[in-house]
Amino acid sequence: MKMYCSFMGAGFLAAAAVFTIFSCGVSNPAETDVSLHPPVVFSSIPGDRSIQLVIEGQNRHSEFSGYNVYFDYTDNQQTIDEKLIVIDSSRVSAKPTVKMQPSENMQKTTLFLSEQFEYCLKNQNYNTGKKNKIIIENCVKYYFTVRAYSFINDRESERSEIIFETPRYEYINQTVKSGTVYTNHDFVFSYSADNFFYGFGGVLLQDTGWKENWSDIINARPDGYVSGPLPAQTGHLYMFCTTGSNYGKLFIDSMSGNTVFFKLTYQTNGMRI
């Protein structure tokens, strides 16, 4: 999970499964309110054509109503505040993206963006039917920022830090038998009869050890890779680097006889795996 301090399927409805939202309906930029606080923690997890945003913060201001989440394709601080993510077009107002109540305690919430999502621009009224759809693509970098929001006079907090996330390919229910070669994109490895992995065609591997979940590692390591041999072990997570400088990870779910059952991710734009 990528984390910064003091900042930030199927169809559209699945795209933002947790929260609802809609009509930008504001002709002027929101006023900055220093009594509202941006998230203490804003982090992200990449998926297959999906992004998970985790927002954690504390706002006890009685007028606090949630967080507005903005996105862009760059980290330009002037343009990223122009695209407000819309989750539920049935709501009267697009703000806030994520509805929350004031609290004396830290609150944590998660926003799932899957396959596609909608956004509206500042100076654009969502109720007029003007909406913009984004199809989430693998290996494309998306930038996000968050502001705490008050429905009174359309006020927002200072902006959080800007973070990025890059969805990646994901392949589950994969198998390889001993004495054979597995190929996916430019990732190629062989599995020997004595239960060892070997990088093939210049592919390098790294055993990161036993992991409870394959999401335990999201950032690929820049070094420490070898061509093999590496013993195949259930519950172990392996990272790989191809000759095209593409990264990914392989997690062994189980082994039976001469067959390894695994899942893997593949990233062509950076090291978010």
Q: Per-residue pLDDT for the chain (273 aa), expressed as one digit of tens each? A: 444 333 333 343 344 544 333 334 443 446 665 588 888 888 999 999 999 999 999 999 889 999 999 999 999 988 898 899 988 766 667 788 999 999 999 999 999 999 988 888 866 654 554 678 899 999 999 999 999 999 888 889 998 999 999 999 999 999 999 999 999 999 999 999 999 999 999 999 999 999 999 999 999 999 999 999 999 999 999 999 999 999 999 999 999 999 999 999 999 999 999
Tokens of 24: 């930008």
Strand 163-165 to 247-256 pairing: unpaired
Under DSSP, the state recorded for 195 is S
User: Which runs of E-coded beta strand occur in 60-186?
Assistant: 64-72, 83-86, 98-99, 107-114, 116-121, 132-135, 142-150, 155-156, 163-165, 169-177, 180-184
Work out the number of other CB atoms within 10 angstroms of the CB of residue 105. 6
Check if the beta carbon of residue 31 is closer than 8 Å to that of residue 156: yes
Question: How many angstroms separate the CA atoms of 237 and 208, rounded?
Answer: 6
Give the integer Cα–Cα distance in Å for 184 and 262. 13
**Structural contact between residues 119 and 113, judged by C-beta atoms closer than 8 angstroms:** no
| Structural domains of the chain, ranges and CATH numbers in brackets | 2-165 (2.60.40.10), 169-267 (no CATH)
- 72 close to 143: Cβ distance less than 8 angstroms: yes
